[in-house]
Chains A and B, each alone.
Chain A
Amino acid sequence: MIEAMIYALPFLGQGFLVTLAVSGLVVAGSLVLGLVLGTALAFGPVWLGLPIRAFADTARAIPLIVLIFTVYYGLPALGVNLSPFWAAVAALTLFKTGHVIEIVRGAITSIAAGQMEAAKAIGLSFVDRLRYVIFPQAVRRFLPPWINSVTDSVKGSALVSLVGVVDLMMAIQQVIGRTYQPMPLYLLGAIIYIAVNASLSVTSRRLEARFARVVAS
């Protein structure tokens, strides 16, 4: 069992890096998009909010695998040809953005209305009100659900193997194809995913503790 795992390790390095790359790109892309769209949803006019709301609800309602296949097999029909890697990243990012929009909106609207008014009363512009008053407080409500969603992204990235991207999951499959020993390899895969997500959880708890100290209320 252990020997099978040790034998497999060198073959998994490349796939592991791809998993990290997919997760990292998805987390970064969905964070940027989600922050902008979530803020627009929280403060923007109805004509702006409605399409964002529709997008967020749709992205979250579709099974991730359906979204990945739609982007990978569907877009070429529209003349957009993405490599498996970028198709998978795009699909996962759309999916995650739906979640981040909701987390951002929730965090912002949880801040008491009086904070915005006090910030207006000292003459801060909209951007400064967000920068100095709303976001520093909202980040504390944002972090716990967001870190959850980051670990979700890492787990969800395993689905990219289904469109032929050689990530950690695919690399494991390939080794199994040679050794016919699925159990030790899947176990090893589970351990690696757990290790990544456990370290994320530890980081998140540290961050939360830090922000809780800063925003004692």
Chain B
Amino acid sequence: MSEPVLSIRGLTKRFGTTTVLDGVDLDVARGEVLVVIGASGSGKTTLLRCVNALVPYDAGSITLDGVEVGYTAPGSGVRRSDRALSAIRADIGMVFQMFNLFPHLSARDNVALGLKVTRGMAKREAVARAEHWLARVGLADRMDHLPSQLSGGQQQRVGIARAVAMEPKLLLLDEITSALDPELVGEVLDVVRGLAAEGMTMLMVTHEMSFARDAGHRVVFMDQGRIAEEGVPKEVLGNPRSERLQRFLRRIELRTE
């Protein structure tokens, strides 16, 4: 594949005395769908939050298209200004487990806000693009609805539209179907499949193994803050080498059956 969009080296993050990320190295190539799996507490979500500069980290480096994300330089320990962080985050989309839609804004305005304010688009242009993306995720008839008037699956599709409309270089998806009723998971994953087919670069934390198998280009298994196994989905999921991954996959399968 081409040169990496996202490059992570030696990423280390501690909460007090607990080491949550312990020297993670990871590259995501342009157009790649990289799926991260692992038990809760293995550091998957923290990894995504570090990439979007939502939390500081203790050591290592994260670069997006060669630009250091959270700090002025690798290892400098000097946090970038809020303005600089905002500019970098604008190029990284994020979809949250709990949706985190803005409850006071309609679906349309949820998507249009970043376009207007961050991208500086004229209102008409922003609204047109918001409506385009809402139609793309199958919500053409829900544009005026407030989040509270939408089902969980619909809310999450608004969440995806909000992130993708910004045309990010990288899309982070943090367990985006975990809070959904089982019958709503499919509609959300279908949207993600469509984005993958169009070449969107994605770093996705999920427990949906069947999705990882058929839509992921590469799977990473995280365990105790480290990358324990990595490879093409068929290999990693079909032929797990370590005892821990075998046990993890058995537990997941029991849950879904």
- Judging by beta carbons under 8 Å apart, are B54 and A123 in contact? no
Number of interface residues, chain B, beta carbon within 8 A: 32
Are B103 and A123 neighbours in the complex by a CB distance under 8 Å? no
> Nearest Cβ in chain A — how far from B110, in angstroms?
9
A177 to B92, CA, bound (A): 74
Measured CA separation A216–B91 after assembly (Å):
30
**A-contact bits for B82-111, CB 8 A (1 contact / 0 none):** 110111011111101010111110000000
Q: Is A79 an interface residue (CB 8 A)?
A: no
Closest Cβ neighbor of A117 among chain B residues: B54
Q: What residues on A are CB-neighbors of B246 within 8 Å?
A: none
A117 touches B82 (CB 8 A): no
A126 on interface, CB distance cutoff 8 Å = yes
Q: How far is the CB of A211 from chain B (nearest CB, A)?
A: 9
A120-B54 contact in complex given A136-B104, A137-B104, C-beta closer than 8 Å: yes
Interface assignment of A202: CB less than 8 Å from any CB of chain B: no
Q: Across the interface, do A216 and B148 meet the contact criterion of CB distance under 8 Å?
A: yes
Residues of A close to B74: CB separation below 8 A = none
Bound Cα distance A93, B150 (Å): 44
Report chain B residues within 8 Å CB of A216: 103, 146, 148-149
Interchain nearest-CB distance for B158 vs A (Å): 11
Of the candidates A120, A122, A126, A215, which one forms a contact with B103 in the assembled complex, judged by CB atoms under 8 Å apart? Answer: A215
A121 touches B82 (CB 8 A): no
**B52 contact from A114, A121, A133, Cβ within 8 A:** A121
A111 to chain B, nearest CB (A): 10
B55 (CB) vs chain A CBs: closest residue: A117
Chain A: how many interface residues by the 8 Å CB criterion?
22
Does A125 lie within 8 Å of B86, measured CB to CB? yes
A115 interfacial contact with B, CB 8 Å: yes
Q: Verify A118–B86 contact, CB threshold 8 A.
A: no
Known: A115-B102, A132-B117. A121 touches B146 (CB 8 A): no
* Residue B113 lies at the interface, judged by CB distance under 8 Å to chain A: yes
CB of B146 within 8 A of CB of A122, answer: no
**Proximity string of chain B (153-195) to chain A, C-beta cutoff 8 Å, 1 when within and 0 when not:** 0000000001100100000000000000000000000000000
Chain A: minimal CB distance from B213 (Å)? 28
Judge whether B98 and A123 touch: CB under 8 Å.
no
Taking a contact as CB atoms closer than 8 A, the residue among B83, B90, B96, B146 that contacts A117 in the complex is B96
Q: Is the CB of A137 within 8 A of B100?
A: no
Q: How far is the CA of A117 from the CA of B89 in the complex (A)?
A: 11
Query: A119 — which chain B residues lie within 8 A by C-beta?
Result: 102
> In the complex, what residue of chain B is closest to A127 when comparing beta carbons?
B82
81-130 of chain A: CB within 8 A of chain B: 112, 114-115, 117-126, 128
Interface centre among A119, A123, A126, A216, by most B CB within 10 Å?
A123
In contact, B83 and A115 (Cβ under 8 angstroms)? no
Q: Given the complex, which residues of A lie within 8 Å of B89, measured CB to CB?
A: 120-123
For the complex with contacts A122-B166, A123-B90, A217-B148, 4 further pairs of A-B residues with Cβ separation under 8 Å are A112-B100, A117-B100, A215-B104, A216-B146
Instruction: Return 12 A-B CB contacts under 8 Å, by A number.
Output: A114-B98, A117-B100, A118-B100, A118-B102, A118-B162, A123-B87, A123-B118, A126-B82, A133-B102, A136-B104, A137-B104, A217-B146
Counting from the closest, the 9 A-B pairs by CB-CB distance are A123-B90, A122-B114, A118-B100, A123-B118, A217-B103, A114-B100, A121-B94, A215-B104, A123-B89
Q: Which residues of A contact B (CB under 8 A)?
A: 112, 114-115, 117-126, 128, 132-133, 136-137, 214-217
